[in-house]
Amino acid sequence: MVRENEIRRAEVAVAPPVAEDAGLAFIGCIGTPWTSRLLCPRQGRLDGPDCRIELFAPWDEGLDGIEAYERLEVLYWLHESRRDLVRQSPRNDGSARGVFSLRSPVRPNPIGTSVVGLLRREGNMLIVRGLDCLDGTPLLDLKPDRTSFTPLAPPQPGDFETGA
Amino acid sequence: MVRENEIRRAEVAVAPPVAEDAGLAFIGCIGTPWTSRLLCPRQGRLDGPDCRIELFAPWDEGLDGIEAYERLEVLYWLHESRRDLVRQSPRNDGSARGVFSLRSPVRPNPIGTSVVGLLRREGNMLIVRGLDCLDGTPLLDLKPDRTSFTPLAPPQPGDFETGA
C-alpha cells in the first residue's frame, strides 16, 4: 500500500527541511489517469497510457524544437509528499533504508523525474507516455533525454577530461 | 563559449519567474575540478575525473544502502544560471530554439540532472564520476538510477496499465 502520511515502524523522521535555499516556479501542469496515490504506478512505462503535459505562458514558447526528440526527461513536484523521512520502509515490514537508496516520492526535495516517449505536440501541450505521477502534478522542467541529446554549443575543456 | 550572463542575438527573455510555488533545501554540496563555468564539461562522462558529493546532517543518514547501486541520478541547483531565456542560441549564430529542446543550464527552474557512477562511499561523502557541474554546486537529491532500480514496495494498479 502506498503511504498516506503515516510514519512506519523502523522509519526515522528528522525535522522537516527549512526549504528556503531556492525557490521554484510551477511552469505547467501534468494530466494523468491517476487521481489517487493508491492507483499511481510505482514506475512509469513507455507503453503506458497517454498523459498530457501542459505548459503555462510564457513558457510554452520554450517548446520550440522539442518535436526533434523522441525521449524527454520530465521533472515535477511531488506536491503530496512529506519531506522528513530520512529512513523509510517501503515494504512496511520493520526494515528500513536511507531515502537516497530509494526512488520513493518522500524526499527532502520531492522532485520526481521520468523519461517519457513524446507522441506529439498540440500547441502548448505534449502528449507523452511513461509518467507515474498523480493527475494535477506541477511541472518543473522538461529536457531532451541525455541519451539522445548532443550539445549544440561548442565543446569546453572539461569535455575532454578523464579520470586518472 | 559558455554564457556569462549576456543575452545573445535571436534569444527571447521573458519576465523572470516568480519562484514562490515551492521551496528547496540544499542538502549537500558537490565538489568537482571545475572552478569556472568556462571549464565545465557540456555533459558529464562516466570515465571523467573523480568528484565528491557531500551530504549535510541530518541527511547523511539517508545514504544507508546506497552502495548497492552502481549508477545514481544526481539532482543539483545550477546556482549561477539566469532563469528568463525562453529561446536560446547555443551556437550564438543568430538562430535560437526553445529552452525545453536544450539541456542548457539556463532554465526557468535551473535544476541539473546527471547519471553518475558510484566509486565508493566515505562516511557522509560519495566519490563519483560523470558530473558536469561547477565546484560548490548545491545538492538537491540523489536516487538510484531508474535503469538499475526495482521498487521494493508492492506494485499498484497503475503498474499494469498500458496505452490503447
Contact list, A108 vs chain B (CB under 8 Å):
25, 27, 59, 62, 141
Rounded to 5°, angle at Cα B1 from A70 and B88: 45
Q: Determine the Cα–Cα distance for residues B124 and B56; give it in Å rounded to an integer.
A: 7
**Residues A81 and A56: beta-carbon distance below 8 Å:** no
Contact list, A19 vs chain B (CB under 8 Å):
22-25
Strand partners, A151: none
**Residues B40 and A158: beta-carbon distance below 8 Å:** yes
**pLDDT score at B148:** 84
**pLDDT score at A67:** 97
Q: Domain range for residue A99?
A: 31-148
Q: What is the ipTM of this complex?
A: 0.96
Distance from CA of B123 to the nearest CA of A (A): 14
Q: Does B1 score more than 70 pLDDT?
A: no
Contact B75 A113 (CB under 8 A): yes
Is residue B8 in some structural domain?
A: no
Is residue B105 in some structural domain?
A: yes
Is residue A136 in some structural domain?
A: yes
Q: Does A129 score more than 90 pLDDT?
A: yes
When pLDDT is averaged across residues A118-143 and rounded to a whole number, the result is: 98
Q: Does A56 score more than 90 pLDDT?
A: yes
Q: Which is more confidently placed, A61 or A155?
A: A61
Enter the C-alpha cell of residue A108.
527532502
- B59-77 confidence digits (pLDDT tens): 999 999 999 999 999 999 9
Q: Does A1 score more than 80 pLDDT?
A: no
Q: Determine the Cα–Cα distance for residues B100 and B97; give it in Å rounded to an integer.
A: 9
* pLDDT interval class at B152 (50, 70, 90): confident
Strand partners, B144: B72
- B101-138 confidence digits (pLDDT tens): 999 999 999 999 999 999 999 999 999 999 999 999 99
Is residue B10 in some structural domain?
A: no
Share of chain A above pLDDT 90, in %: 85
A16: Cβ contacts below 8 Å, ≥ 6 apart:
A82, A83, A84
Determine the residue of chain A that is closest to B91 in CA distance: A153
Is residue A161 in some structural domain?
A: no
How many Cβ pairs within 8 Å bridge chains A and B?
Answer: 287
Enter the C-alpha cell of residue B153.
514496495
Contact list, B25 vs chain A (CB under 8 Å):
17-21, 108-109
B140 by Cβ neighbours in 10 Å (0-12 / 13-18 / 19+) ranks as buried
Contact B12 A111 (CB under 8 A): no
Q: Is B76 on the interface with A (CB under 8 A)?
A: no
Determine the residue of chain B that is closest to A14 in CA distance: B58
N- to C-terminal Cα distance for chain A?
46
**pLDDT score at A55:** 98
Closest CA to B104 of B85, B123, B129: B85
N- to C-terminal Cα distance for chain B?
46
Instruction: Name the domain count of chain B.
Output: 1
- B7-42 confidence digits (pLDDT tens): 999 999 999 999 999 999 999 999 999 999 889 998
Is residue B14 in some structural domain?
A: no
Q: What is the CATH number of the domain that holds A76?
A: 2.40.30.70
**pLDDT score at B11:** 96
Contact B100 A40 (CB under 8 A): no
**Residues B86 and B98: beta-carbon distance below 8 Å:** yes
Q: Determine the Cα–Cα distance for residues A40 and B21; give it in Å rounded to an integer.
A: 24
Is residue A110 in some structural domain?
A: yes
- A134-147 confidence digits (pLDDT tens): 999 999 999 999 98
Contact list, B164 vs chain A (CB under 8 Å):
49-50
Contact A146 B69 (CB under 8 A): no
**pLDDT score at A152:** 87
Rounded to the nearest integer, the mean pLDDT of chain A is 95
Is residue B154 in some structural domain?
A: no
